[in-house]
Structure 1
Amino acid sequence: MRKVDPAKHQARRRHILGVAAGLFAAKGYERTTTAEICKAAGMSAGNLFHYFPNKRAIFLAVFEDDEEGKAERLAQAQAAADPWEALLELVDFLAAPAAEPLAPPLVMEAMVQAYRDAELEALLSRGNAHEHAAIAALLSKASDAGRIDPGLDPDDTATWVLALIGLLYTSAATSPAFKPTEQLPTLRLILQRYLRAEQPDS
């Protein structure tokens, strides 16, 4: 029996997800066919199904892999010595993909499909909950350290922070003139003025 090279298997899997993500972003999940994914990936259907059982599994994996990579970054942020700087860096990290061509339409497509797919909805909800928990923890630590307004509720404020980040994605997906990269400094400024307490060094 031929042994599977884990590195090659993983690389091939990432290749499939990459081309599939491009198709899902451009055409949407429903209008993308398995045959199109096979053609873009340069493989037969039999080979494709060696990695994923169906199109839905590929779509889910696009977002599952993203969550796996994000978990380590969230943990690093919560362990940082300076919660205020860690918060700003985490916002940058979560907002940065909005500037990539595929991310905003993929996010929009995931939101549409989540209404029809309970497993996808649960996956996205878990990811959002993890982001919310990390931001709320940093806000709480920053408040205790006197770095932000102590009158702000960490959980409520984390919801608003994530809502502002989410606007970068939805705006980029729906308005061709909207440039997320150009808006990131404004997002930072809004958060700084919203979160920081009245103090001389703010």
Structure 2
Amino acid sequence: MRTVDPARHQARRRQIVHAAAELFAAKGFERTTTAEICRAAGTSTGNLFHYFPNKKAVFLAVFEEDGEEKREALARAQAGDDPWRALLEVVNLLAAPAAEPLVPPLVMEAMVQAYRDPEVEAALERDNEQELAALTALLAKAAAAGRIDPGLDPRGTATWVQTLIGSLYTAAAGDPAFKPAEQLPVLHLILRRFLRAVPEEDA
């Protein structure tokens, strides 16, 4: 029996996902065909189905590719000693992909597909809840440490923080001239004023 090289298998899988991501960003999920994905990835249909059962699985893999790294980063942030600094690091982590040209249109396409497909909706909801839980925990810790306004409800506030981060994606998707990375300092300023953050030297 032929053995599978895990590293080679993973590399080939990533190649397919990256090729598909470009197509999904440019054409959308519905208008992208399996044949187009195969041509872009330089593989056959049979080989594609060796890695993914269907086109939707490829689409979902685009958003799950770096999931483990993100989970680990969120866990490290929550374990840190300074919840305010960790909160800003998480904001940077969640906002960073908005600066990548393919990501904002992919996020918009995922939102469209979530209205049509419960499986896509569930996948996005899991990711959203993971981010929300991390933000909520850090906000609660920051409030308890006297670093932000203690009168704010942590989960409700986390939802607003998510909304502000999400606006970087929607703005980038709608306006090619919008530069999310350049707006990150503005987002930090908005958060400081919204949360009434106390600078470390004054804490």
Cα deviations by residue, 1:104-133 (Å, 9 ceiling, x for unpaired): 000000000001110110110111111111
Secondary structure, aligned partner of 2:66: helix
CA-atom RMSD in angstroms: 1.4
Secondary structure, aligned partner of 1:95: helix
Count of residue correspondences? 202
Partners of 2:147 and 2:198 within 8 A in 1: no
Partners of 1:150 and 1:197 within 8 A in 2: no
The alpha carbon displacement at 1:69 in A equals 2.8
Between stretches 151-160 and 69-78, larger displacement belongs to 69-78
Secondary structure, aligned partner of 2:21: helix
The alpha carbon displacement at 1:197 in A equals 4.8
Between stretches 175-184 and 189-198, larger displacement belongs to 189-198
TM-score, length of structure 1 as denominator length = 0.96
The alpha carbon displacement at 1:65 in A equals 2.4
Rounded Cα–Cα distance in structure 1 between residues aligned with 2:153 and 2:22? 39
Rounded Cα–Cα distance in structure 1 between residues aligned with 2:48 and 2:155? 43
Whether 1:161 and 2:161 are equivalent positions in the alignment is yes
The residue that corresponds to 2:133 in the other structure is 133
Residue identity in the other structure for 2:79: A
The residue that corresponds to 1:175 in the other structure is 175
Rounded Cα–Cα distance in structure 1 between residues aligned with 2:196 and 2:25? 37
Question: Which 5+ residue runs of structure 1 have no aligned equivalent?
Answer: none
Secondary structure, aligned partner of 2:65: helix
Partners of 2:21 and 2:102 within 8 A in 1: yes
Question: Which 5+ residue runs of structure 2 have no aligned equivalent?
Answer: none
The residue that corresponds to 1:201 in the other structure is 202
CA distance 1:148–1:44, shift in 2 (3 Å): same
Rounded Cα–Cα distance in structure 1 between residues aligned with 2:189 and 2:123? 31
- What are the residue-to-residue correspondences of 1:12-23 with 2, within 5 Å? 12-23=12-23
Residue identity in the other structure for 1:165: I
TM-score, length of structure 2 as denominator length = 0.95
The alpha carbon displacement at 1:198 in A equals 6.7
Structure 1 runs of 4+ with >6 Å offset: none
Identity of aligned residues (%): 72
